[in-house]
A and B are shown apart, each in its own frame.
Chain A
Amino acid sequence: MAALGETTPPRSQLGTLLRLRGKLTLRQFSRERGRIIGAIVVVLVFGPMIVGAAFGTAVGYRTLEGQWPTALLGAVMVGMWLIWLVFPIIATSINESADITHLLIFPISRRDLVLSTLLGTFFDYPTYLMLPLFIAVFIGFGFTSAFPIVILAILFSYGHMVLIGQFITVTIGGILQSRRFRDVAIVFFSLIGSSCYFINLAFQRGVERFTDSLSLQEEEAFAETFAGWQPLNILQWFPTGAPARAVQQALDGSWGTAVLWLLYSAVLLAVLTWIWFQLLNRLATGGGFLIGGRPQAEKEKRVAQQTGRRSLLDLLPDDLAALVGKELRSVWRIPQRRVGLVQGLLLPVFMMGPFLYSADFSGGISAIPRWFGLTLPLYALFLFWSTSQNMLAWEGRGLPALLLTPQPRWRLFWAKGLVFLLIAGIPYLIVSGAATAILRDWLTVVGMVTGLGMGITTMAVTAVGSVLFPIPINLEAKRTRGAYQSGGNFKTGCATVTVIPISTAVVNLPAAALLGLAFFLNLPWLGFVGAVFSLVYGFGILYGGSRLAGNLLLEREPELVATMKLPEE
């Protein structure tokens, strides 16, 4: 039997490390079924795109002439490297086992750590999304005299790509792991995602304007300049552009220069690996990430100190003011809710975008159809529904704390109703008010007021729905990727798309019927009566809905707390 401390670590732990990596990769799918669906979606969406891109580039490598095949090779390699560079920023980790800081407490050699990191990427499915593009490179250049250089170029490029992800992680990991970064990233990527249509539209218009502005001679001169362009002269200085230059030189028969370019890439790889390892050691010995997160306290201190000032909330009873204040802070401080707020403001632009893009305004505002006022209640319905749906789930981990208090439950919903009225009502009144000011039509005025009443009514339905069909939301996801991860089940999912919309339609029927009648019979007085009725009716239904939701909540608080727990809690 060995005495304490006498054990000798095995010569190589690479096999153990790779087995660990494989096991953790499988476990993350077996523990979180959502990940399987996510992976399938990624493969189904990106798979065909990448196979298509690989096919296109393979054809390009073989059929393009002059400098273009190797220029394309350089662009592909650098493009892939850039994707790996930003990948940790978008998704801080694909796989828990990819974070090798967990391993630094063990006596593992540097060689094993580096090799397991590189080889471990074969357990990440995005790696296989790169494979078609590498196969395309081989098809394009592998069957030439440059074969050995091509193989080395692919290997070096792959090494650079894997390394850069790790390098970014250990360099700015402090920022990537900070709550502020996650908050900003969630807002940024959500808004970018929802703005794709407009970015595409702006790009299309820009290209159209550029090409329209060119004369025939200018077009010819542009084509001539483009034909002589040597993009590889720039790309070659990137770590993965150098191997592309090496391939080009080998194809030209300049083997010495080709080897030199590969050497350049290899030196960069070695230097980066060394720096990466130093940073890793620094991390392991308590030195922290090279660049950490920015201290958060200052701004929050300013915000928090403002809470002591007198405000409009003082007009409300203390408990209601506290509930409203908490809800308002939550709307502003939880990034997902902030995104919802901004998207609500942008919604009319999204809805009107195609119309504005193709509309002919030569006839002035008369080009806008008379029935436009009827669309305002639809906007209100969507805005109030999207703002207030699943309202209890936004309490997040604070829900049990709220339910431990003796506060009458209907007041919780009443307070939420007031906040949603504010945050959905203001953008609604701005947009519909602007439409009313432009159109100066009784139907638009009536549509605006009726819409507001219908929006208020909708909140009563969503209040009850949030108790009966709650869907938990992960407000503190550690990764930006998981920021919208939520639970729920088949029943809640079905109810969200059936029971709640149908109930909303039913309770809004009286107000909608009066508006429709006023339009078809062209009776402004009926429209105005209907608009006033809609407001009174809306507040009445909201009050009744809050009471009902409060009673339902009191009956099922423990079950609701259990439902709201996310799998990882």
Chain B
Amino acid sequence: MTSWAVETRGLTRQFDKKIAVDNLDLTVATGEFFGFLGPNGAGKSTTINMLVGLLRPTSGTALIDGIDMWHEPLAAKARIGVLPEGMQLYQRLTAREYIRFSGTMYGVPKAEVEQRTEELLDLLTLTDDADKLIVDYSHGMRKKTALAAAVIHAPRVLFLDEPFEGIDAISGRIIRDVLSRLREHGTTIFFSSHILEVVERLCTRVAVIANGRLVAQGSMEELRHQAETGDETTLEELFLRAVGASSDLEAEGRLSWLR
């Protein structure tokens, strides 16, 4: 029997009359690198927030390693690391202080916290700025700090909401390497991204959500098979097809005034 690192059953979230996530059934196997895709406003962040305990579902269940996030939140949270949307960090702590704090909160022994903090700061090229307050950081530096804080306890499941958004090529490469390394050591990675090339390169399985509903799920091969396309079809094409979007401006006669 497959052990699921992440499992949702009928997960639903309604905001007033709008159903942001609609009856979502999702499974992510242990050790998978799982890409969660969807257009803006599709319900990706809402789903991740429900999975990590920051947003109460209207109905349905969210299981982490078999533990119900909404019945045993502390046990479930002990197993995860999260890089949330908007990276809510303590603005008046330094990166070093914040990463140490995060490690201690997850019960990493003190000496380990010190060693891992320095290693992560060095790896993420934050050492020179490690003693500046986070409020004075650039977007990329904040993202790297949040990532370090999310992985310092070597979580069993890592949730990343748009980890590559607003990140330069060098930082992006470093983050990719860190994620690959985590996965090699058994961490399940669940991440959402708009950068489809990265998803295609890293992910073992992908799910596509549109208007709160799951519209496609599987490995690249499975998605191609579902879409009845050839081996050369890119994830971008599969994604656009899955969400029913078109990008052929010329055929549709749009922007015709551009000559």
Contact = CB atoms under 8 A, between A and B. Distances in A.
B101 A557 contact: no
B56 A300 contact: no
A405 B135 contact: no
Interface string B82-123: 101010111111101100111011110110001000000000
Nearest to B78: A406
B135 A558 contact: no
B92 A329 contact: yes
A334 interface: yes
B47 to A, nearest CB: 14
Nearest to A308: B114
B90 A398 contact: yes
A404 B53 contact: yes
Given A398-B91, A554-B73, A179 B136 contact: yes
B54 A557 contact: yes
A401 B101 CA distance: 11
A441 interface: no
B18 interface: no
Given A401-B149, A406-B77, A334 B55 contact: no
Contact of B90 (A308, A401, A408, A558): A401
B92 A333 contact: yes
Contacts of A403: 53-54
A304 interface: yes
A220 interface: no
Nearest to B82: A404
B74 interface: yes
A333 B105 contact: no
Interface string A551-569: 0001001110110000001
A398 B89 contact: yes
Interface in A319-341: 319, 321-323, 325-326, 329-330, 333-334
Contacts of A330: 90, 92-93
Nearest to A561: B54
B102 A397 contact: no
B124 interface: no
Contact of B133 (A300, A323, A406): A300
A407 B91 contact: no
A404 B52 contact: yes
Contact of A322 (B52, B55, B105, B129): B105
Interface in A1-37: 1, 3-4
A311 to B, nearest CB: 13
B258 interface: yes
A297 interface: yes
B132 interface: yes
Interface in B56-85: 56, 73-75, 77-78, 80, 82, 84
Q: Which of A300, A304, A325, A557 has the most CB of B within 10 A?
A: A304
A334 B92 contact: yes
A399 interface: yes
A305 B131 contact: yes
Q: Which of B78, B104, B135, B258 has the most CB of A within 10 A?
A: B104
Contacts of B94: 300, 304
B224 to A, nearest CB: 36
A562 B53 CA distance: 12
B104 A318 contact: yes
A297 B101 contact: no
B16 to A, nearest CB: 13
Contacts of A397: 86, 88-91
A490 B136 CA distance: 35
A307 B91 contact: no
A307 B104 contact: no
Nearest to A337: B92
A326 B101 contact: yes
B92 to A, nearest CB: 4
Interface string A344-356: 0000000000000
A358 interface: no
Interface residues of B, number: 45
Contacts of A396: 90-91
Contacts of B96: 304, 307
Contacts, number: 124
Contact of B101 (A1, A322, A400): A322
A3 B257 CA distance: 9
Given A304-B94, A333-B133, A4 B54 contact: no
Q: Which of B90, B129, B132 has the most CB of A within 10 A?
A: B90
Number of contact residues on A: which range applies? 35 or more
Contacts of A318: 104, 109-110
Contacts of B91: 396-398, 475-476
Nearest to B52: A404
A235 B136 CA distance: 42
Interface in A163-208: 179
Interface string B37-60: 000000000000100111110000
Nearest to B100: A322
A213 interface: no
A406 B104 contact: no
A285 interface: no
Nearest to A301: B131
B132 A404 contact: no
Contacts of A402: 105
A324 to B, nearest CB: 11
A323 B105 CA distance: 8
A334 B133 CA distance: 11
Interface in B120-167: 129-133, 135-136, 149
B137 to A, nearest CB: 11
Contacts of A476: 91, 135
B100 A300 contact: no
A217 interface: no
A561 B109 CA distance: 29
A215 interface: no
B90 A400 contact: no
Contacts of B201: none
Q: Which of A308, A321, A407 has the most CB of B within 10 A?
A: A407
A225 interface: no
A406 B54 contact: no
A366 interface: no
Contacts of B254: none
Interface string A530-569: 0000000000000000000000001001110110000001
Interface in B157-197: none
Interface string B216-257: 000000000000000000000000000000000000000001
9 tightest A-B CB contacts, nearest first = A398-B90, A406-B78, A322-B104, A405-B105, A304-B131, A333-B92, A301-B131, A400-B88, A558-B56
Given A297-B136, A305-B131, A404-B82, 11 more contacts: A301-B132, A304-B130, A319-B104, A325-B101, A326-B93, A334-B92, A401-B102, A405-B102, A476-B91, A476-B135, A558-B54
27 contacts: A1-B259, A4-B259, A179-B136, A297-B131, A297-B132, A297-B136, A304-B131, A319-B104, A325-B101, A330-B92, A333-B133, A396-B91, A397-B88, A397-B89, A398-B93, A401-B90, A404-B52, A405-B77, A405-B102, A554-B74, A557-B53, A557-B54, A557-B73, A558-B49, A558-B54, A559-B56, A561-B54
